[in-house]
Structure 1
Amino acid sequence: MTVTRLDDVRLTALVEQLADLLTDTVDGGASVGFLAPLDRAEAVAWWRGRAAAVAAGELAVWVAREGERVTGTVSLALPDKPNSRHRAELVKLMVGRESRGRGLGRRLLTTAERAAADAGITLLHLDTETGSPAEHLYRTAGWTRAGEIPDYAANPAGALRPTTLYFKRIGAGPADR
Structure 2
Amino acid sequence: MRVERWDGARVRDRAGELAALLADTVASGASVGFLAPLGHAEAVAWWRERADATEAGHFAVWAAVDPADRVTGTVGLAFPGKPNSRHRAELVKLMVHRSARGRGLGRRLLTAAEDAAVAGGITLLHLDTETGSPAEGLYRSAGWTVAGTIPDYAAAPAGGLRPTTLYYKRLGG
* TM-score, normalising length: structure 2: 0.98
- After TM superposition, give the deviation of residue 48 of structure 1 in Å: 1.1
- Kindly report which structure 2 residues correspond to 1:4-153, keeping only aligned pairs within 5 A, or say none: 4-67=4-67, 68-153=69-154
- After TM superposition, give the deviation of residue 90 of structure 1 in Å: 0.2
- After TM superposition, give the deviation of residue 42 of structure 1 in Å: 0.9
Q: What's 1:175 paired with?
A: none
- After TM superposition, give the deviation of residue 60 of structure 1 in Å: 0.3
- After TM superposition, give the deviation of residue 82 of structure 1 in Å: 1.0
Q: What's 2:156 paired with?
A: 155
Q: Distance in 2 between matches of 1:83 and 1:5?
A: 26
Q: Secondary structure of 1:83's partner?
A: helix
Q: Which amino acid aligns with 2:24?
A: D
Q: What's 1:166 paired with?
A: 167
- After TM superposition, give the deviation of residue 169 of structure 1 in Å: 0.3
Structure 2 residues not aligned, in runs of 5+:
none
Q: How many residues align?
A: 172
Q: Distance in 1 between matches of 2:105 and 2:51?
A: 24
Q: Distance in 2 between matches of 1:49 and 1:139?
A: 30
- After TM superposition, give the deviation of residue 80 of structure 1 in Å: 1.0
Between 1:45-54 and 1:120-129, the stretch displaced more is 45-54
Q: Distance in 1 between matches of 2:130 and 2:119?
A: 28
Q: What is the identity percentage for the equivalent residue pairs of Structure 1 and Structure 2?
A: 72
RMSD: 0.6
1:27-69: CA deviation from partner (whole Å, max 9, x where unpaired) = 0000000001111111111111111100000000000000210
Structure 1 residues not aligned, in runs of 5+:
173-177
* TM-score, normalising length: structure 1: 0.96
1:91-115: CA deviation from partner (whole Å, max 9, x where unpaired) = 0000000000000000000000000
Q: What's 1:3 paired with?
A: 3
